[in-house]
Amino acid sequence: MNSFLYILQCSDGTFYTGSTKNLERRLSQHNSGEGANYTRKRLPVKLVYYEEYQYVSQAFEREKHIQKWSHKKKLALINGEFENLSALSKKKFD
């Protein structure tokens, strides 16, 4: 069974990043208030991006990676502006 990394846009414009084995069910859970506490307070949410993986461990690893990203970098990913991702990375030695 495949797994998914997903990004939701909340009603306040923020993004929530998660992973699941059943994307449709998880989106329904979020919108019914049964999802994460973060999304429960920012309903409704809509799916704006997802990636599919063979294993849940891969999706979870990607989730943890993307959760560290800035709002602008997530927006570039969602919009398919892959050429901008590197420039939007935080520089540790500035």
Query: For residue range 38-86, what is the model confidence (pLDDT) as tens digits?
Result: 999 999 999 999 999 999 999 999 999 999 999 999 999 999 999 888 8
Does 37 fall in a domain? yes
Q: What residues make up the domain containing 30?
A: 3-69
Helix (H), strand (E) at residue 5: strand 3-9
Question: Which residues sit opposite 51 in a β-bridge?
Answer: 5
Among residues 23, 69, 57, 89, the alpha carbon closest in space to that of 8 is found at: 23
Question: Which residues sit opposite 65 in a β-bridge?
Answer: none
Judge whether residue 92 has pLDDT over 70: no
Judge whether residue 10 has pLDDT over 60: yes
pLDDT range class, residue 94, cuts 50, 70, 90: very low
What amino acid occupies position 53? Answer: Y
Judge whether residue 25 has pLDDT over 90: yes
For 85, list phi and psi in degrees, rounded to 5.
-60, -45
- Beta strands 46-53; 3-9: pairing state: antiparallel
Give the residue carrying structure tokens 């901008």. 84
More confident of the two residues 82 and 93 = 82
Token representation of residue 92: 């540790």
Does 93 fall in a domain? no
Does 77 fall in a domain? no
Does 31 fall in a domain? yes
Number of domains in the chain: 1
Q: Which CATH number fits the domain that encloses residue 64?
A: 3.40.1440.10
